[in-house]
Amino acid sequence: MPENPWLVVTGGTAGPGYAERFATMAAEGADLHGEARRVHALLDGTPSDVLDAGCGTGRVAIHLAELGHRVEGVDLDASMLDEARTAAPHLPWHLRDLATLDLGRRFDLVVGAGNLWPLLTPGTHARVIARLAAHLRPGGLLVLGFGLDDGHVPFTLPDGVPFPDLHAYDTAAVGAGLQLLTRTADWDGREPFTGGGYAVSVHRRGSTTP
């Protein structure tokens, strides 16, 4: 199987640097919680079970927990999870490959921020979406936001690794029994996606999907 682009480029050691970067941004007054606010709004502010897929250092998951949700995080990078565990040792953090993910439970919503889709291991994209969909309760939501070109992903993919396009994502979602509800150009949710380099997609799992 091909190697994961994130681990190839970072060597699995990016956690401390990312944690320091976000801490600096927070100290400077940056708004770091747009993704969590969108998820909270999609859940109508009702405390819910949420899985943060590709949770990194836990930025989104931790704020969702502060908003009252029951959150778990999963990531492939142990160094990122080390930072998440340090910041929020009371939350469940899982070191897993999303392509084979099986936590033995379902959630009301699965969120993937931080350009999860383009950084998946080549050849596993459809399988990952199927596994995320399998962790949703009937009627549950899958919310992914990601860049569609190298101008919107602050990360250089290894040579020969292409950016998977939005059509590939939609095809994977349909194959996983998901229905597109809305697509916006950012996490604020106010601007509809009409093309461009970034999209946030909200899909719902069908009530009859096995």
Give the 3-state secondary structure of residue 60. Answer: helix
Task: For the chain, give every domain's residue range.
Answer: 5-205
- What pLDDT sits at residue 198? 93
- H-only helix segments in the chain: 5-10, 15-27, 34-42, 59-66, 78-87, 125-134, 166-175
Cα separation, 135 vs 42, whole angstroms = 18
pLDDT at 155 over 80: no
Predicted confidence (pLDDT) per residue in 63-78, tens digit: 999 999 999 999 999 9
Q: Model's pTM, two decimal places? A: 0.95
Domain 5-205 in CATH 3.40.50.410: no
Band the pLDDT of 208: cuts 50, 70, 90: low
Q: What is the mean pLDDT of the chain?
A: 94
CA terminus-to-terminus distance, the chain: 28
Instruction: Count CB-CB contacts under 10 A for residue 10.
Output: 17
Dig out the tokens for 207 from the structure.
């009530």
CA dist 90 and 82 (Å) reads 13
Percentage above 90 pLDDT, the chain? 85
Strand 178-184: give its sheet, edge to edge. 93-95, 70-75, 49-53, 107-112, 136-147, 198-205, 178-184
